[in-house]
């Protein structure tokens, strides 16, 4: 069901996913994909619809350009932490496609070594999650290791969803076959790195479909999971971030 799959982007399930990822990374370095490098585009992007306005808002924000494969996320200055992102999530339109806005947040779990997180959700089909990078000692060597925003983004998407064939676009190097963004990142990036794709399948639901847009802003990993491309553009347009 869509409820089960999208709800897993919530903070509790993401925590479990990160535990799995850390264990996998510690067990085998050779299983880790290559680090993100040059911009990736497996095929020329298809024609995109024009920018759209958020639906069912209590105000009338100016339309922001969300066109292109990047959905405009590379044209905006995003908060670099969950704390800053929470302000944007709380300022989202109160309803979307008939569903009310719900916003959740969780502080840093220092004892369990997890970064702070926040999320916003419209019903079962449309959500945004933001997670802060953190340093963990749950490594093979026991030495502290930074779990970067790029790696968090790959985990929050790749451990639940899969991209449709030939739909992956982005500046983050994908996993082999373009199933999602790659995990390995050598260091925190100062620029906005992003990916987008059509979703074709989720854990436990091979028939799941939707659209994903993910990006990083220094310490924060952002991920939008929407029921379709138009919904993703509308939700991103509703995030009142400042243009670059």
Go through the chain and tell me how many residues it has.
Answer: 244
The answer to whether the Cα torsion of 91, 216, 219, 221 is positive or negative is: positive
Number of structural domains the chain divides into: 1
DSSP 3-state of 235: helix
With a cut of 60, say whether residue 25 has pLDDT above it: no
Q: With bands split at pLDDT 50, 70 and 90, how would you rate the model's confidence at 114?
A: confident
Say whether pLDDT at 33 is over 80.
Answer: no
Alpha-carbon distance values, 61 to 9, 94, 120, 129 (Å): 27, 13, 19, 22
With tokens 């064939």, the residue in question is 165
pTM: 0.75
What confidence score (pLDDT) does residue 107 get?
87
Distance CA 64, CA 57 (A): 15
Summarised one tens digit per residue, pLDDT across range 174-209 is 999 999 999 876 566 678 999 999 999 999 999 999
Q: Residue 217: phi, psi to the nearest 5?
A: -135, 90
Place of tokens 């985990």: 155
Write down the pLDDT at residue 113: 67
* Whole-angstrom distance, CA of residue 208 vs CA of residue 201: 5
**Residue 41 lies in domain:** 2-243
């Amino acid at each position: 069901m869509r409820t089960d799959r999208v709800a897993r982007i919530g903070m509790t399930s993401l925590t479990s996913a990160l535990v799995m990822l850390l264990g996998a990374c510690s067990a085998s370095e050779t299983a880790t994909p290559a680090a993100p490098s040059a911009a990736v585009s497996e095929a020329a992007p298809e024609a995109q619809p024009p920018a759209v306005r958020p639906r069912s808002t209590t105000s009338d924000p100016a339309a922001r350009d969300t066109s292109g494969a990047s959905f405009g996320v590379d044209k905006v200055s995003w908060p670099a932490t969950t704390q800053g992102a929470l302000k944007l999530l709380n300022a989202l339109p109160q309803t979307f496609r008939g569903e009310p806005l719900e916003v959740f947040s969780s502080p840093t779990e220092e004892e369990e070594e997890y970064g702070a997180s926040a999320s916003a959700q419209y019903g079962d089909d449309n959500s945004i999650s933001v997670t802060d990078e953190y340093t963990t000692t749950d490594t093979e060597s026991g030495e502290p290791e930074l779990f970067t925003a790029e790696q968090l983004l790959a985990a929050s998407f790749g451990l639940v969803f899969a991209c449709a064939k030939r739909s992956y676009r982005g500046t983050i190097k994908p996993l082999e076959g373009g199933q999602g963004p790659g995990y390995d990142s050598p260091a925190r990036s100062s620029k906005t790195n992003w990916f987008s794709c059509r979703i074709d399948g989720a854990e436990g639901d091979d028939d799941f479909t939707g659209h994903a847009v993910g990006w990083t802003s220094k310490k924060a990993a952002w991920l939008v999971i929407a029921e379709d491309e138009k919904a993703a553009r509308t939700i991103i347009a509703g995030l009142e971030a400042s243009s670059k």
